[in-house]
């Protein structure tokens, strides 16, 4: 199993690791801070240096309990090699800001409009959440983003940790939907992200340490995605 440094420290952008499996253009490491696409959050990119040669990491994917690093172009790094790894921090930090921002927006939509999140995506330039919430219109969305910006400005601490299934099932915020309950019931340990005094969610992604780091959330748009479904698109890097 690859040790997931991105869960231990979301701010680790440089690390050394050992190659434990290798194919042409693909590398598996004993540990990694490269986040693989998942939970709506896009993968990291960056570089690996081994034997004086630099390899560009163009994609990162979950591979069971392992993490697969896809190299840009050809190249095979021998198993047992030590590699110096650097994550493209500007991209990762934008993804972190967007991820935490979406948790704030999602929590407000739930609290104020009983809108259940049905999906989402986090990219470097923007992020969106889809809601089963027919009442969401442009005006309400603007109000939601205004309220989210207040939470950003409150400078709330954001932390993540693993808890037991039993503990997770005792937290009302985590089991408010049937899919949420099913997910927790399928896991031994549950990772949660806690925005202090505001919101707790099950989550596998990377987040900023304090909501203040998000800066300001801009509403880029609201779209209809079917009869009940609405999409809110935001950015905090524009
Ligand atoms: Zn999340």
Q: What is the dihedral of CA 6, 7, 11, 12, to 10 degrees?
A: -50
Say if residue 104 is in the same domain as residue 10.
Answer: no
pTM: predicted TM-score of the whole model, two decimal places: 0.96
Are 97 and 215 in a shared domain?
yes
pLDDT of residue 178: 81
Element (H, E) at 68: strand 66-71
Query: Is residue 192 within 8 Å of residue 167, measured between CB atoms?
Result: no
| Ligand 1 center from residue 99 Cα (angstroms) | 6
pLDDT at 190 over 90: yes
**How far, rounded to the nearest angstrom, does the alpha carbon of residue 103 sit from its chain's CA centroid?**
10
User: Which residue range(s) make up the domain with 100?
Assistant: 92-235
216 CA → ligand 1 middle, Å? 18
The 10s digit of each residue's pLDDT in 73-112 is 878 999 999 999 999 999 999 999 999 999 999 999 999 9
Of 87, 120, 138, which residue is a domain's last?
Answer: 87
What is residue 10's predicted lDDT score, i.e. its pLDDT?
A: 97
Residues 116 and 23 in one domain: no
- State in Å: Cα 230 to ligand 1 middle: 18
Structurally, the chain folds into a number of domains equal to 2
55 Cα: distance to centroid of ligand 1 (angstroms): 30
To 10 degrees, the CA torsion angle through 163, 165, 170, 176? 100
CATH of the domain at 48: 2.40.30.130
Residue 145: per-residue pLDDT: 97
**pLDDT of the residue at 129:** 96
| 8 A C-beta contact, residue 193 and residue 206 | no
d(CA 39, ligand 1 centre) in Å: 6
């Amino acid at each position: 199993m690859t040790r997931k440094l991105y869960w231990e420290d979301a701010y680790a952008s440089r690390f050394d690791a050992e190659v434990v499996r290798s194919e042409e253009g693909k590398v598996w490491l004993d540990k990694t801070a490269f986040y693989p696409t998942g939970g709506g959050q896009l993968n990291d990119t960056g570089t690996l240096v081994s034997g004086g040669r630099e390899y560009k990491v163009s994609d990162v994917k979950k591979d069971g309990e392992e993490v697969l690093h896809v190299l840009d172009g050809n190249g095979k790094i021998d198993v047992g090699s030590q590699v110096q790894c650097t994550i493209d921090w500007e991209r990762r930090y934008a993804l972190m800001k967007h991820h935490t921002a979406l948790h704030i927006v999602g929590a407000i939509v739930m609290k104020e409009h009983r809108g259940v999140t049905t999906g989402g995506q986090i990219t470097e330039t923007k992020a969106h959440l889809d809601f089963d919430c027919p009442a969401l219109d442009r005006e309400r969305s603007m109000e939601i983003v205004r309220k989210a910006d207040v939470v950003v400005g409150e400078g709330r601490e954001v932390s993540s940790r693993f808890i037991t299934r039993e503990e997770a099932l005792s937290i009302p915020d985590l089991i408010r939907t049937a899919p949420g309950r099913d997910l927790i019931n399928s896991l031994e340990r549950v990772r949660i992200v806690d925005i202090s005094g505001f919101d707790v969610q099950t989550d596998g992604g990377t987040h900023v340490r304090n909501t203040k780091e998000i800066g300001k959330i801009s509403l880029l748009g609201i779209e209809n995605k079917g009869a009940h479904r609405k999409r809110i698109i935001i950015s905090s890097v524009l």
